[in-house]
Structure 1
Amino acid sequence: MSTQKSTQNITQIALFLVIGAIAPLLDTTMTNVALDTIMKSLNVSVNAIQWITTSYVLAMGIAVPVAGWATNWFDGKHLYLGALVVFLLGSIVSSWATTLPLLVIGRIIQGAAAGIVVPLITTLVVQVAGSQGLGKLMAVVGMPAVLIPILGPTIGGYLIDALNWHWIFLINIPLVLLSLLLLVWKMPKFPAAKQGKHLDIPSLATLTGLFTAAIIGITRFSTGDSFTSTKVLTPLLLALACLIGYILYAIFQPQRALVSLELFKSPTFDASVVILMLSGIAVNGAMFLLPLYLQNTRGLSVVWSGTYLIAQGIGLLLSRSQIGKLTDSIGARWVVLVAIVIAVAGTLPFVFFTAKTSKWLILLALFVRGIGQGGLTIPVMADSYTGLPKRLIAEATTATRMLQNIGGAMGTAVLATIIAHELPSVGMNAAYQTAFMWSVGFILVTAIPAWFLSHDRR
């Protein structure tokens, strides 16, 4: 009875933590839908409007290592509530913005807060649960991360149609206030261990340089600059230099480095981070691709394109509980390999779809793709912690979240570049078909690291 009660308490804690993440995750997808509207409203160029998204991702990535350190030195409840208050401030600034610079400042504040909120959920859940039943708990924790990006475009589309783009930020205010009330009332304290690493400035500087330079290089490439141009090569070479610099620093100062190289001695962790990066490219890239495809080749409105994507969400919902249970019982390897086959089966048809394809075939493909998508996230996140000592949990969360962010940004940039390059020569529909083929390729490549995931939990 006590074990069941303990499991119920852990699940309840996970649910309350997830509620706090709804606003940051919802905000990201709604903003993507609104970019064209904001661009016209503020009378700025496409290159300039990119910074609304880029600044958010940069701030989020830079904050992730800080979250990993802060979890060891500050009470988890206070840290989580403080980050939500900062996100609320960023939402207010963004909603008031009438110029691009002010909007970018608001987005930086939001991104920094989200970079602490999102990884902190996983860290706190793993700390309270240990290694038992992580598959089921990751299904709970990961639910908004995969469902909200699907529902967000529809909600954002309705808000923009009925009101104006400022409301995609204003809507965060009541959401965050409600979350704060619930968390203050119900969330237990998570006393800090007050042991482990202090915030290491050289680590933070090199990781920040790596993340920032990589995103800038990818963004410039996606907006039309040649890969061999100085504008693209300079930040990418700087990113490489920062990566090498961090590895050397972590070798010679292992007690100070924010992300220990000891993590990479675990084959399951290595496989997990590679899959998370590749699936970030395939999943996030396709989430960028699908609304554009539905609007540009099918002629759907912003609202209807988001509504179509609900079919993908239903597939996710139906598969999530079973995926968690299977991961806990048989390990992640076979769950992920089967999910890859399903995800390919749901994505490959888009390579052949045309403007005249039946909407029911499109909805069926999206539904199948949703089932596969769940299997590429839940088991991998759970397996990244398998066999790791408790002292490395926060650092593992830092590493996995950073690679997810980089993968997501790369996916958007790569697929956007493919469409831009193909469009003048082959036309709209063929350009999107080529981009979907690349997305299928990225999904297939994940089968290689998937073989090194755990395969027998008994």
Structure 2
Amino acid sequence: MNNGKSETKNLNQLIAISFILVLGALAPMLDTTMVNIAVNSIIVDFHTTVSSVQWVVTAYVLAIGIAVPIAGWAIDWVSGKTLYLGALILFLLGSAVAGFSGSIWLLVLSRVIQGAGAGMIMSALSTLIVRAASGENLGNLMSIVGLPAVFAPILGPTIGGLIIDHLDWHWIFYINIPIALFSIILLLWKSPKFAPEKGGKRLDWISIILFAGSFTELILGITKVSTTGNFFERQVMVPLSIGASLLILYILYAWIWPKRALVSLSLFKLPSFSASSLLLLMSGITINGAMLLLPLYYQNIRGASVVWTGIYLIPQGIGMLLTRTQVGKITDRIGARWVVMSGILISVLATLPFAFADQHTSQWMLLLALFFRGAGQGAMMIPIMADAYTGLSKKQVPEATISTRMLQNIGGAFGTAILATVVQHHLSGTVPTITHISDAYNVAFIWSIVSTVVAVIPAWFLSIKKSRA
């Protein structure tokens, strides 16, 4: 009886710690969606071009990618609490500089600082929670870890739209300051130290350079796809080739010197980790790419304002939110495979209406589809993230976090670029009427659906637990 009470108390403590850490990740996640809303305002204010302002978004993603492997190493040698505090302070500093920026390039620099802090936060978040839980109740805890990703699409566009309507784009960054300050105070007051294990690998600069270089070049190439509309352009192929070459070099390096490499290839011997990694990469099209299309569909086809676009997307976030707790519990009980399979089926059925929708499609039908689409996404992402850590030792957790975070970022950029290119290619050589634009979005949603169906293949290799009699 006492053991049951003790386990409940420990779980409650873990949940409380998880919420404290997750609060610190809320501002970086909100920042991503709010900045996308502010792009047009920044272009007008600085009298600059789309290609220049694109670096405001790209610099942030690049900085995250470079910070993730460094944070993955540091968490073995520095107190987790100290690392998280440092990351929050860095993000706070970047937000303040961004808010006061008087030029586009100072804004880009501030986004690098923000991204460095955000990358460390995202990397440390999962690792600290998994370590504190000792690999137990991961489905339940991952439903909490993923809360910022749920609230970002609900609150980000709506808050961003309201801020731009009533204030200006500078406040997109100012709003991060009180959130970060509150998180820092709460972390100082209530968070445990998360003592470092000091048994991890030494910082391997060759791994960092190969990882950072590969990630940077791949993101640059992927970003250029959406602006050029042609995958085989020189400015696309050169960075993609360099990025792929550096990644191959890292694989060879990790194979020859496994004890030095930051991420060991031995992780991929586990079928559940390999399947989760591939699914996270594919989620760029199945989830992230479609998240780009939905706001554009509502603004360009339905004629919705920025604020109303955010409101229309709320049902999707509610669907994700309502399914999180149950999905986590079910994953802990039966494993990830069948939960993800169910999520894939729901996501496909709920995205189908958008593959045939136009400006006259029933608004209520689309809102209902968004709700179920959110539920399907929740049923996919929580088990995938949890299964990435199933069967790993404590020493392997930071390496797994580096891999999963980088794959998510690359997948997100890749998926967004692919679907943006599909829309652009479909519109090339045509008069941009509502009908033609609507057709272009329909085709892009079909791409998203096909990618989601293909995800069934790696999902089959996720973990499955036999029920106990």
TM bucket, shorter chain: over 0.9
Query: Does the CA contact (< 8 Å) of 1:281 and 1:409 recur in 2?
Result: no
Checking the alignment, whether the CA contact within 8 Å between 1:151 and 1:309 is kept in structure 2 is: no
Which position in structure 1 is the counterpart of 2:379? 375
Query: 1:325, 1:378 → 2: CA distance?
Result: 10
In structure 1, the residue matched to 2:179 is: 175
The one of 133, 146, 156 aligned to 1:152: 156
Distance 1:92 1:443 in 2: 39
Secondary structure at 2:294's aligned position in 1?
A: helix
C-alpha distance in structure 2 between counterparts of 1:147 and 1:438, whole Å: 26
Q: Which residue of 1 aligns with 2:452?
A: 443
Distance 1:94 1:28 in 2: 13
Structure 1 contact 92–170 (Cα < 8 Å) conserved: yes
Equivalents in 1 of 2:156, 2:189: separation in Å?
Answer: 28
Task: Specify the code of the residue in structure 1 equivalent to 2:456.
Answer: A
Letter of the structure 2 residue corresponding to residue 306 of structure 1: G
Partner of residue 441, structure 2: 432
State the shift of 1:48 in Å.
1.2
- Measured against aligned partners, the alpha-carbon deviations of 1:32-79 in whole angstroms (never above 9, x if no partner) come to 111111111111111111111100000001111011101100000010
Distance 1:457 1:24 in 2: 38
SS of 1:29's equivalent in the other structure is helix
1:228 aligns with 2:232: yes
Q: How many pairs align?
A: 458
The TM-score, its normalising length taken from structure 1, stands at 0.99
The residue that corresponds to 1:163 in the other structure is 167
Amino acid of the residue matched to residue 365 of structure 1? A
- Taking the aligned partners of 2:291 and 2:170, their CA distance within structure 1 comes to 23
Distance of aligned partners of 1:50 and 1:457 in 2 relative to their CA distance in 1, 3 Å threshold: farther
Amino acid aligned to 1:21? A
Please name the residue that 1:30 is paired with.
Answer: 34
After TM superposition, the structure 1 = structure 2 runs for residues 344-355 of structure 1, keeping only pairs within 5 Å, are 344-355=348-359
Distance 2:409 2:260 in 1: 24
Residue in structure 1 matched with residue 142 of structure 2 by the alignment = 138
Distance in 1 (alpha carbons) for counterparts of 2:412 and 2:231? 19
Task: Using the TM superposition, give the Cα deviation of residue 225 of structure 1 relative to its aligned residue in structure 2, in angstroms.
Answer: 5.2
Displacement of 1:147 in angstroms is 2.3
Report the counterpart of residue 309 of structure 1 in structure 2. Answer: 313
The match for 1:453 is 462
Is 1:55 aligned to residue 47 of structure 2? Answer: no
TM-score, structure 2 as length reference: 0.96
Q: Deviations over 1:355-390 (max 9, x none)?
A: 011110110110010000101110010011111111
Unaligned runs of 5+ in 2: none
RMSD across aligned C-alpha pairs, in angstroms?
1.0
Counterpart Cα distance in 2 of 1:87 and 1:143: 19
Aligned AA (2:312): Y
Match for residue 260 of structure 2 among 249, 252, 256: 256
| SS of 1:73 mapped into structure 2 | coil
Shift of 1:457: 5.6
Query: One-letter code of the match for 1:343?
Result: S
Given that 2:284 and 2:415 are in contact with CA atoms closer than 8 Å, whether structure 1 keeps it comes out as yes
Q: 2:122 matched to 1:118?
A: yes
Q: Percent identity?
A: 55
Superposed, which structure 2 residues align to 1:200-349 within 5 Å? 200-224=204-228, 226-349=230-353
Per-residue CA distance 1:275-310 (angstroms, 9 max, x = gap): 111113221111111101100000000000000110
**1: distance between equivalents of 2:134 and 2:76?**
16
User: Which runs of 5 or more residues in structure 1 are unaligned?
Assistant: none
Contact 2:229–2:425 under 8 Å retained in 1? no
Rounded to whole Å, the distance in 1 between the matches of 2:439 and 2:228 is 19
Per the alignment, in what secondary structure is the counterpart of residue 191 of structure 1? Answer: coil
